[in-house]
Structure 1
Amino acid sequence: MKDILNTSVLSKRWSYIWYLMRDFKFDMLNVLGSEETLLEKGYIVDVTEKRYEFSDASRNEYVKIVDQIIKNFKGTEIDSFMVEFSMKQENSSTIDQWITFAVLRGVKRIDLLFGFDYDGYYKFPFGLFSKFDNSKLKHMQLRYCLVYQETSFEILPLTNLRSLILEDSKVDEIFLKTLLHDCHLLEELSLIRCDINTSILNIESSSLCLLKLEFCTLKGYNLHTDRLWINTPALKSIHFRAYCTIEETAKIFPLIATLPQLEILNLYIPNTPDFINYLNREDFTLENLKELNLIYGPREYNFDISWLSIILQASPILQKLSVMITSPMVSTHLPAIRDVRTFSHCEIKIIELGGCVGNFYEIEITLNALKYFHKLERIVLSPYWINEFLDQGLKCDPTWSQSGRERILEELHGKGIGLDKLVLV
């Protein structure tokens, strides 16, 4: 983006070509340069796990360059507008001007991804959209923003909005109600680590197809199933991760059983050997569920496939099962590998196990799946796992490469099963 201004002065022809740009991406790399360049110039004063802390000089330079590009741009239409940088509250009026620039040109996607060290929350100017007829905005992602409506009588002027992602933001109850009531084309809603100003989270929509709720709080208290109400008949996919007790986590199954179109479930399950005690097979049936993705952990030594069997029996047309164990460790206690005939299924084609290190439960799941999953096409065992709380990418335990694969193959050898469907990553 910085080079755009420089090349525009080289010739009369080039000075107009950049007006045809439709996508504006103002992140660190495109505006200021690489991490090495920033370190050399002293723009980065701290680097911890890729969470940059920028100097005031770097922030001033960033604002100056973005301002120059916006003020010199003569194009009439743009498709996307992204700001990804560590801004301050003193820059709020400048950001308002940038948003105005984008809205005036019929922007279809806005991403405001502010840094973790933002001193407060940027108040997103929804009222700005009411000044322009027929907003074209379809997709929006906000991070570290204050998101709310002044009154419940306001109409949210985002009639074309399809997806909204809110991260690390403060969200008002009135805004959510207005959003779900007024935005009839909204299909995807993600609330990630948000503090929502309500006691009961009511998600009621006739259009919503994908819902993601991840580690949110309601008035400062952790969101759990007793404080969640969902009435979304068109919902096909739900992603739910929360700081819940195991009893509260188990209640998610009867809750989602009320969603007639649900096909995909992503769920975080806290570490406990007693999960089976909180599952009642008669409480729920997941008639249309086709894909189940579970993150389980951390450091579970005694994974019991019995509770997993209950969920499978309640999901008659399930086709894909994925289970990831976080922070895996090799168990020193090795129970006998069981032949669990109730661990069976007629439709599952793909099984994926993540966080494998060669533990007994990995062998037990593999053995029984190969014997009793009648349509199984492949079962993939991988050492890779993710931190269930932090987005730090995939991790891998060296135990797998040293002995994990050999241990599993040795245990499965001579069990009277074919291993052609087994994939060891």
Structure 2
Amino acid sequence: MTMDCKEQFREYTKDRISDLPDDVLSYILSKLTIKDLLKTRILSKRWLNLWESRRNLNFDIPNMFGSAREMLNFNTLPDMPESNTKELVMQRVRNEFVRRVDQFIQHFQGEKIDSFRLAFDLPAEHINANMDRWLSVAVAKGVEGIDLLFSNKPHFIDDRKISVKEYEFPFNLFSESDGPTLRHLSLKSSILDHPPPDFDFVRFRNLRSLVLEETTLPDDFPACLLSRCSFLEELSLRYCYFTNRTSIIVGPSLRSLEIIILPYGVKFHISASNITYLKYSGALSDISFIEAPQLITSYFHAFYEREIPCVLPQFANFIRLENLALSFMLYKVVSLQRSSSSLKNLKQLDLFIERPEWQKFDPFWILNILRACPLLQKFSLMFLRPKPCVNMREESDPGAFTHNKLKVIEIGGCVGNWYEAEFVKYLVKHVKALESITLSPFWRDYGKSEMGDADISSWVQSGREMVRGILREEVSEQTHLRLL
């Protein structure tokens, strides 16, 4: 290549990315961290103001610092005393975080903000002086999604425990509006107090998703907010603090509801004619349904095994229920009687059972649940944190049992206990349409992808062969047996 050709080639390829359309460049910029986004201003005149086209603002540690390595540099600053404490380091990180967010907001001239997310694992009191001002900018630019995620964990200075002051959500910032814009709101470690008496909820009328975690709620929370959000489809209440003892959740547009481990004694009555998904963690006796005819998928975590017998009557009213997961700690042997209640449309059942190491376990009471599910096709049983047990066999009479639709059985957390093989042996004999059955030492909890560590050595050395020996002559050629 001659020198002239090289010059022409360099000229042709010079800053070709700047010739791309604005919408393409905006998409590229949306993939950068906030820190790297600001660096693009120095590339050329074309790039000087392009960063302001960013419409999704995400202020968290990775976005503001770029990497954990930069945060670690605060540990080795020249003026850091030898007796540096974690609190002193975090104070510097916090101050720098606030400075960077504030600098960005002050210089941001974009016309529209779609989402505003601020996540920092520190109490909100450290940024309260700035938070309302930052949020007001987002509201003024028609923000549609807001996530304010703080921490309510106390911090320490010189071994002194410092109390936490939670962030009070500023309804007043949403009082002036040309029309509804907000579609998603998520608060963590905040206070959602009563709005002003003359508040018209215009900004909230298109709210589709509301997530509240570790948030203090007013006595009439459902009435004061949910009743005004006629399009709300997703509601999540995680570890929230209710001052009243009874809450009624009425949501004609609700499709998804999550209630996780609320204080005992708070009773919930749910009337949601269109809800299809429900996740509940708490005492089953504290929740009742007035109306939920469209429920298809549900997960329940019950703290006590004594609540299990009330499961079938509770769920039998859900005539469209297809997927059900139950998780509980087993402190004593369950005696679950046969019930006339039936889960007529249930297709998949997942049981997550944790028992103390000393507890005897007889799995045949589970058959009474399977009996109530005539159309069940897949059954998954997970033993959480399993341990081998010795001389804990319970003699029982499972009674008459047969199932004509069950095709797939999975049992996780196997460590070679007697009941694993005996239970599977019984199922193999009485499940007519069985296609595959899997036994594995690995287990997972509900909603988690990572697998737990069982006592695999016991399974590898003897458990697997014990199960194989028991089932060798029981499993038909039509059934695929997998021992992991």
TM-score (normalizing by structure 1): 0.83
Change (3 A) 1:265 1:97: farther
Q: Give 3-state SS (helix, strand or coil) of 2:366's partner.
A: helix
Within 5 Å, give how 1:12-411 maps onto structure 2.
Answer: 12-42=45-75, 55-88=90-123, 89-117=125-153, 119-150=164-195, 156=201, 157-217=203-263, 224-233=283-292, 234-242=294-302, 244-277=303-336, 281-282=339-340, 284-299=341-356, 301-333=359-391, 335=393, 342=400, 344-385=402-443, 394-399=451-456, 402-403=460-461, 404-411=463-470
Q: Show the counterpart of 2:37.
A: 4
User: Would you say the 8 A contact 2:387–2:455 is kept in 1?
Assistant: no
Higher RCO, 1 vs 2 (CA within 8 Å, ≥6 residues apart): 1
Structure 2 alignment gaps of length 5 or more? 1-33, 77-83, 155-163, 268-280
Q: Give 3-state SS (helix, strand or coil) of 1:191's partner.
A: strand
CA distance in 2: counterparts of 1:225 and 1:180, whole angstroms: 23
Structure 1 alignment gaps of length 5 or more? 47-51
Q: Deviations over 1:172-216 (max 9, x none)?
A: 342223343222322222222222222123233222232222211
1:28 is displaced (CA, Å) by 1.7
Q: Show the counterpart of 1:49.
A: none
Change (3 A) 1:172 1:138: same
Change (3 A) 1:71 1:272: same
1:363 is displaced (CA, Å) by 2.3
Q: Give 3-state SS (helix, strand or coil) of 1:288's partner.
A: coil
1:96 is displaced (CA, Å) by 2.3
Q: Deviations over 1:200-240 (max 9, x none)?
A: 23233222232222211157899533332333434333333
Change (3 A) 1:33 1:245: same
User: Would you say the 8 A contact 1:276–1:306 is kept in 2?
Assistant: no
Change (3 A) 1:54 1:125: farther
Q: Give 3-state SS (helix, strand or coil) of 1:322's partner.
A: strand
User: Would you say the 8 A contact 2:328–2:353 is kept in 1?
Assistant: yes
Partner amino acid, structure 1, of 2:191: L
Q: Deviations over 1:225-272 (max 9, x none)?
A: 333233343433333335x43334543443333344433333322213
1:56 is displaced (CA, Å) by 0.9
Q: Deviations over 1:6-32 (max 9, x none)?
A: 222332212232223232222222212
User: Would you say the 8 A contact 1:205–1:232 is kept in 2?
Assistant: no
Q: Show the counterpart of 1:421.
A: 480
Number of positions where the alignment pairs a residue of Structure 1 with one of Structure 2: 416
User: Would you say the 8 A contact 1:196–1:218 is kept in 2?
Assistant: no
Computing the radius of gyration over CA atoms, which structure comes out larger, 1 or 2?
Answer: 2
CA distance in 2: counterparts of 1:323 and 1:152, whole angstroms: 52
CA distance in 2: counterparts of 1:226 and 1:100, whole angstroms: 43
User: Would you say the 8 A contact 1:86–1:115 is kept in 2?
Assistant: yes
Name the % identity: 32
Partner amino acid, structure 1, of 2:370: L
1:325 is displaced (CA, Å) by 2.0
User: Would you say the 8 A contact 2:152–2:166 is kept in 1?
Assistant: no
CA distance in 2: counterparts of 1:418 and 1:328, whole angstroms: 30
CA distance in 2: counterparts of 1:264 and 1:416, whole angstroms: 27
User: Would you say the 8 A contact 1:173–1:198 is kept in 2?
Assistant: yes
User: Would you say the 8 A contact 1:31–1:62 is kept in 2?
Assistant: yes
Q: Give 3-state SS (helix, strand or coil) of 1:363's partner.
A: helix
User: Would you say the 8 A contact 2:414–2:441 is kept in 1?
Assistant: yes
Q: Deviations over 1:353-404 (max 9, x none)?
A: 333323233323433444433444433434344578x989542124266334
1:167 is displaced (CA, Å) by 2.1
User: Would you say the 8 A contact 2:297–2:324 is kept in 1?
Assistant: yes
1:293 is displaced (CA, Å) by 2.8
Change (3 A) 1:351 1:171: farther
User: Would you say the 8 A contact 1:321–1:350 is kept in 2?
Assistant: yes
Partner amino acid, structure 2, of 1:421: H
Change (3 A) 1:181 1:272: same
CA distance in 2: counterparts of 1:164 and 1:28, whole angstroms: 24
